[in-house]
Chains A and B, each alone.
Chain A
Amino acid sequence: MISVENLSVTYGDLRALDDVSIDIGDGEFVTVVGPSGCGKTTLLRTIGGLESPTAGRVRVDGDPPEAAQSNARLGFVFQDHTLLPWKTALENVTFLRRMAGKDPDPEGARDLLATTGLDGFEDTRPAELSGGMKQRVAIARAIHLGADVLLMDEPFGELDEITRDEMSVEILRLWRENRKTVVFVTHSVPEAVFLGDRCLVVSGAGTADGSGTGNGTPGRIVGEFDIDLPRPRDESVFGSEAFGRQVARVRGSLHDDA
């Protein structure tokens, strides 16, 4: 579904990503984990066509990301919920689909809000929703768009830990029900292990967000782990021994490199 070939992204003197290659299958849930400023967000944004490759290429179902944008095949969920404050939850869900020029489907949007636990909040504005609820609306918006690929950039980064765990279970359920390909960026190793079929570890410094000086190593994939925890996964996984082992393995790869 997604292929990234020898991708490098440079901003001026800063090499954010260096020679990254990934293949992601249809319906796969891939998590990308790494420290702040390692280039993982740049990777996600380049897959989604919001940044341009300096070298190498990205294909989404065989097409360049720009073509996938035009067909509304990419559904972004950002750390910042990006809901429009003057629109209700329901209007926010339908808004992006409308802007993409697709046929409206208000009933579908209502059903989706209900299945994301927002039944009764259709006419509520974002200011009156909690952080977790806002991200639920943002996720519903991406699914309602009808995208094949969900690109999630630390979507739970601003939520408290309890809400994060709930949202993780929730996103797995939505993924099961909607059969999307997901690329999920996070700096939380447990989150990456809990969610992913596969977990990519990115390491690097001196990248675009100013956290480095430009002479550090650019973002590279330093580890790749198949997460063989059985599905469906729920909260009980967090306490399991197998989960703890996987987390330790992924953590180990992060610290080897640094």
Chain B
Amino acid sequence: MSVAERVPAPSVVLPVSGLLVAVAAWWALTVALAIPPYLLPSPAAVAARLAGNPDLYLANAVTTLRKILIGGAAGIASGFTIALVVWAVPVLERALYPYLVALRVLPKIAVAPVFLIYFGVGFETAIVFVALIVFFPVVVGTAAGLDRTPASHLDLLRSVDADPVRTFFAVRLPHALPDVFAGVKQSVTLAVVGAVVAEWILSNDGLGSLVLVASENVQVDVMLAALVVLLGMGLLLYGGVSLCYRAVAWQ
């Protein structure tokens, strides 16, 4: 075995090196310029914050994660279902689909204060908000994917008088999966955004709220620690969806 084969692939080595260099530069900057910790704490200070009170970050992370997972699942499931129904009923498709697409343009974050009035502060309101944000990419992805099946494949199944339901599961749905998952990947990223915004406006707990409170108290190290946890969570979720996709996809 040659040396080149033993060394991990550059696809791993280079990004990790990039991260290390960035963190080192941040650290060097805080030391060299003697930046006061209340403006920009060193990486070590942020790490010390995380290590000093892990329960605080863990508890808040769990609170935020619950919103992301429950709201995200609800939004993805309802987006997929609605896209399916709209796609299957041509009248609905013609009547509704343009508006479903147009609604993507609406900044959903601006809807949060409206939710506050109708549903009040609380976990459920936050869930509904996350679901709403997650909903649209899945609708658009699913609707696009279901039309992706080549006409010749449908001809083939028609030539043996195949049952439409079996045709759907055997051919249409697998052809749609890449687009459905493209939507779900966008949705997962948006779910994290949605949960944080919900925690600012609609629920007053979790990592989002922690960032906000720390900002009001000018605790930059707490803010950065919370952001690091959020970033890690977002990456794990995104990676999880990518793995799911690889398990079911054919491309």
> Could you tell me if A145 and B158 are in contact, using CB atoms closer than 8 angstroms?
no
Taking a contact as CB atoms closer than 8 A, the residue among A70, A82, A101, A151 that contacts B152 in the complex is A82
> Could you tell me if B167 and A99 are in contact, using CB atoms closer than 8 angstroms?
yes
- Which of B150, B160, B249 gathers most chain A CB within 10 Å? B160
How many Å lie between the Cα of A48 and that of B159 in the bound state? 7
How many Å lie between the Cα of A76 and that of B159 in the bound state? 7
B157 interface hit (Cβ, 8 Å): yes
CB distance from B160 to the nearest CB of A (A): 4
> Could you tell me if A66 and B156 are in contact, using CB atoms closer than 8 angstroms?
no
A-side binding surface: helix, strand, loop or mixed? loop
> Could you tell me if A69 and B250 are in contact, using CB atoms closer than 8 angstroms?
no
CB distance from A59 to the nearest CB of B (A): 17
CB distance from B56 to the nearest CB of A (A): 46
Contact A84 B159, CB 8 Å, known A95-B170, A99-B167, A99-B170: no
CB distance from A58 to the nearest CB of B (A): 14
Contact A82 B167, CB 8 Å, known A48-B159, A66-B161, A145-B160: no
> Could you tell me if B150 and A86 are in contact, using CB atoms closer than 8 angstroms?
no
Contact A80 B152, CB 8 Å, known A86-B250, A99-B167: yes
> Could you tell me if B166 and A76 are in contact, using CB atoms closer than 8 angstroms?
no
Residue of A nearest to B156 (CB): A82
How many Å lie between the Cα of A202 and that of B29 in the bound state? 80
Taking a contact as CB atoms closer than 8 A, the residue among B159, B163, B250 that contacts A50 in the complex is B159
Contact A99 B250, CB 8 Å, known A69-B160, A78-B155: no
Taking a contact as CB atoms closer than 8 A, the residue among A70, A85, A99, A151 that contacts B166 in the complex is A99
Tell me which residues across on chain A come within 8 A of B162, comparing CB atoms: 99-100
How many chain-A residues does the 8 Å CB contact rule pick out? 25
Tell me which residues across on chain B come within 8 A of A99, comparing CB atoms: 157, 160, 162-163, 166-167, 170
- Render A111-127 as a binary contact track against B, CB cut-off 8 A, 1 for contact: 00000000000000100
> Could you tell me if A72 and B155 are in contact, using CB atoms closer than 8 angstroms?
no
Contact A82 B153, CB 8 Å, known A95-B170, A99-B170: yes
How many Å lie between the Cα of A69 and that of B170 in the bound state? 18
CB distance from A156 to the nearest CB of B (A): 16
B171 interface hit (Cβ, 8 Å): yes
Tell me which residues across on chain A come within 8 A of B163, comparing CB atoms: 99, 101
How many Å lie between the Cα of A117 and that of B174 in the bound state? 29
Tell me which residues across on chain A come within 8 A of B153, comparing CB atoms: 82, 84
Tell me which residues across on chain A come within 8 A of B167, comparing CB atoms: 99
> Could you tell me if A100 and B160 are in contact, using CB atoms closer than 8 angstroms?
yes
How many Å lie between the Cα of A96 and that of B171 in the bound state? 11
For window 51-84 of A, CB contacts with B under 8 Å fall at: 66, 69-70, 72, 74-76, 78, 80, 82, 84
A49 interface hit (Cβ, 8 Å): yes
Q: Could you tell me which B residues sit within 8 Å of A by CB distance?
A: 150, 152-153, 155-163, 166-167, 170-171, 174, 249-251
Q: Could you tell me which A residues sit within 8 Å of B by CB distance?
A: 45, 48-50, 66, 69-70, 72, 74-76, 78, 80, 82, 84-86, 95-96, 99-101, 125, 145, 151
Q: A82-B155, A86-B249, A99-B160 are in contact. List 12 more A-B contacts (CB 8 A).
A: A49-B159, A50-B158, A69-B158, A69-B159, A75-B159, A82-B152, A84-B174, A85-B251, A86-B250, A99-B163, A99-B167, A125-B250
